Amino acid sequence: MPPSRMAMKAHPATLRPGESRRTIAKIETPTVKVEEIAYARGLCIERHSHNTANLLYIVAGVHWSGYSRGGDTCLPHTVRFIPAGEPHENYFPVESRCLRVELRPSMLDLAAQHGKTISSPGQITGALSATLGARLYRKLCENDDDSLVEMEGVILRLLLLDGHGGARRRERTPHWLLQVREMLREEPNRRRSLTDLSRRIGRHPVQISRQFHQHFGCTIGDYMRRVRIARAQSLLSLPGMEVSQIALDCGFCDQSHFTRTFRRLTGMPPHLYRVVISKGQRVPTP
């Protein structure tokens, strides 16, 4: 593949107070856009999707990602694939850094000419996937023409599974369990019990509780708290809303309960969160 024109932007790796995310470095070519992004501790990103397929290499930190077929804990030095249009949501319990590769159609077409490419969301578990992900990150840091050529080659090898297997094959999440998650997400303010879910879905409460944790990597209660706090983070960027009203709108019984939960998940109380993001750093809406 011939070399492409490259534009590199580098910024301090440390997040400023109130920043939810920061692009540390970026290279963009006609075929891909590669960015290193830092995410703040406690950031909850509501369900969203991208118009392009993406590869992710986890540089540091641990986060949770839920998508249409299930959910995973994303560990350092792993590589993940998200197809275009795949709905997914994220929660970052600690500050994390990820390498995000936005794949243009020309890159996907080129890979497809050489063999079967990855199509399902999830972790790539080929024998060389971690090595290739680390190499991709090193080349971003080196930032020269030769590195760019090698980066495109590494991306192609990841898309083609490199002959060592592909995205992780896991037990498919049952349709009824996906229904449970949708019910929780679409009605976050409704107080549901396992008995209520059991009646609606037709499954034993123990089965619901056990399999929810198995497939989504968190308890039902944890998931509901993340959904509510993600919404609260967006609402706190609106200066006209009182914190007490946000607490009620997000399904908390009172402001003190909301404040305790918000502090536990994000590391700061909602009032302080609003102050720091008001200093010209608006919370991005997913």
Residue 168 domain flag: no
Query: How confident is the model at residue 49, as a pLDDT?
Result: 93
- Judge whether residue 90 has pLDDT over 90: yes
Query: How confident is the model at residue 11, as a pLDDT?
Result: 57
- Judge whether residue 280 has pLDDT over 90: no
Residue 239 domain flag: yes
Of the residues 163, 190, 213, the one at which a domain ends: 163
Q: Do 75 and 156 reside in the same domain of the chain? A: yes
- pLDDT band at 9; cut points 50, 70, 90: low
Query: How confident is the model at residue 12, as a pLDDT?
Result: 59
Q: Do 122 and 229 reside in the same domain of the chain? A: no
Percent of the chain surpassing pLDDT 70: 86
- Judge whether residue 18 has pLDDT over 90: no
**CA 78/CA 130 separation, integer angstroms:** 6
Residue 51 domain flag: yes
- pLDDT band at 40; cut points 50, 70, 90: very high
Domain extent at residue 195 = 175-277
Residue 59 domain flag: yes
What is the tens place of the pLDDT at every residue in 205-228? 878 888 888 888 888 888 888 888
Q: Do 49 and 186 reside in the same domain of the chain? A: no
| Mean pLDDT of the chain, nearest integer | 82
Stretch 174-203: mean pLDDT, rounded? 84
Ramachandran angles phi, psi of 89, nearest 5°: -140, 155
- Judge whether residue 286 has pLDDT over 60: no
Q: Do 112 and 232 reside in the same domain of the chain? A: no
Percent of the chain surpassing pLDDT 90: 28
Q: Do 158 and 22 reside in the same domain of the chain? A: yes
- pLDDT band at 190; cut points 50, 70, 90: confident
Q: Do 23 and 121 reside in the same domain of the chain? A: yes
CB 62 within 8 A of CB 73: yes
Q: Do 71 and 118 reside in the same domain of the chain? A: yes
Residue 170 domain flag: no
Q: Do 58 and 184 reside in the same domain of the chain? A: no
Residue 200 domain flag: yes
What is the tens place of the pLDDT at every residue in 43-62? 989 889 999 999 999 999 99
Looking at the structure of the chain, the number of domains it has is: 2
Of the residues 163, 184, 211, the one at which a domain ends: 163
- pLDDT band at 6; cut points 50, 70, 90: very low
pTM, to two decimals: 0.67
What is the tens place of the pLDDT at every residue in 122-166? 888 877 889 999 989 988 887 665 567 678 888 888 988 644 444
Query: Residue 216 is part of a domain; what is its CATH number?
Result: 1.10.10.60
Q: Do 211 and 71 reside in the same domain of the chain? A: no
Residue 1 domain flag: no
Residue 268 domain flag: yes
Of the residues 163, 190, 206, the one at which a domain ends: 163
- Judge whether residue 102 has pLDDT over 90: yes
Q: Do 26 and 154 reside in the same domain of the chain? A: yes
Q: Do 111 and 230 reside in the same domain of the chain? A: no
What is the tens place of the pLDDT at every residue in 21-35? 999 999 888 888 999
Q: Do 115 and 189 reside in the same domain of the chain? A: no
